[in-house]
Amino acid sequence: MPLTDSAVRNAKPYINAKGVKTSKAYKIADGGGLYLEVTIKGAKYWRLRYRFNGKQKLLSIGVYPEISLKIARVKRGEAKIQLSQGIDPSELKKITKQTKNLEGFEHVAREWYIKHKPNWTENHAKKLIDRWLGNRPTNEITPPELLTVLRRVESRGALDTAHRVMQTCGQVFRYAVATGRAERDPSVDLKGAIPPAKKSHLASIIEPVKIGQLLRAIDGYEGHFVTRSTMRLASYVFVRPGELRQAEWSEIDLDIAEWRIPAEKMKKSA
């Protein structure tokens, strides 16, 4: 006979539908292939048993009480309609899930990241990969939701990072728009929502006497030879650490005392 709300609610582990003690999961049928599976730990799962192309198949409908008896029956009815149209409910569910994943922000962000990664340093790429909003459907993310993420960064006092996160998210959203997985970029509505970061100038030595002290300190450094050589070379060429670290002999012409750094490397170390 069909299930009732009270029967579903009162179903207990270890005691099956007949009131007999059991050490295994058991099922309570509702009819039409729908049944409730009660596990030893007390979890309750809705399942639908059906046949497609002559094969016995099983569809997971959801977990009670999130999915009530009434909703489970509605989903059973939807599955029956799909079967009457020659559609396998399990395959349709799988395809729908895959489609949602492809439209999720994390998937779009990682796709965008892979396309741009060759143009970045490893450190820059590593920072970017941690700035996603989870795999919520990209087109459903609203400006207030994005602002909540930025506020968490802002609350740590990292205003510059918050602006960079917003910039990165904006690039991902625009990529999603271009690939048909979002209608607009919600980050454009947040202009002015995050306070501007305070610009601070990095300390630099501009007094000749102190520059001499620095050079003598480098010359007296007794640590690793490569480190000492790098510091000495940096004092002659005045390039970014990343540019110096990635230098290649093919870029250096000793005959004319010239080092030409490729434009793409200049961009990477910026």
**What are the boundaries of each domain within the chain?**
5-88, 104-190, 208-268
- Highest mean pLDDT range out of 23-37, 109-123, 126-140, 192-206? 23-37
DSSP helix/strand/coil, 264:
helix
Angle at the Cα of 11 from the Cα atoms of 72 and 76, rounded to 5 degrees: 15
Question: Could you tell me how far CA 118 lies from the centroid of its own chain?
Answer: 19
**Radius of gyration over alpha carbons of the chain, in Å?**
31
Query: What DSSP line would sit under 68-85, residue for residue?
Result: -HHHHHHHHHHHHHHHHT
What sign results for the dihedral spanned by CA atoms 160, 164, 170, 173?
negative
Q: Report whether pLDDT(134) > 60.
A: yes
Same fold, 5-88 and 104-190: no
DSSP helix/strand/coil, 9:
helix
- Bridge-partner residues for 47, per DSSP? 35, 60
Q: What would the pLDDT profile of 198-212 be if each residue is shown by its tens digit? A: 766 667 788 888 888
Report yes or no: 135 and 162 within 8 Å, Cβ to Cβ. no
For residue 238, count other CB atoms closer than 10 A to its CB: 7
- Bridge-partner residues for 29, per DSSP? 35
Instruction: Give Cα separations from 76 to 6, 69, 91, 235 (angstroms).
Output: 20, 10, 15, 74
Question: Could you tell me how far CA 131 lies from the centroid of its own chain?
Answer: 7
- Spatial separation of the C-alpha atoms in residues 263 and 82, rounded to whole Å: 57
Structure tokens at 2: 């069909």
CATH no., domain 5-88: 3.30.160.390
CA-CA-CA-CA dihedral for 22, 40, 19, 48, to nearest 10: -110
Q: Report whether pLDDT(267) > 60.
A: no
Q: What would the pLDDT profile of 186-202 be if each residue is shown by its tens digit? A: 999 998 888 887 766 66
Residue 81 binned pLDDT confidence (cut-offs 50, 70, 90): very high
Residue 74 confidence (pLDDT): 94
Residue 240 confidence (pLDDT): 83
Residue 270 confidence (pLDDT): 46
What top-level class would CATH report for the domain 104-190? mainly alpha
Q: Say which residues have a Cβ less than 8 Å from residue 252's Cβ, sequence separation at least 6.
A: 258, 259
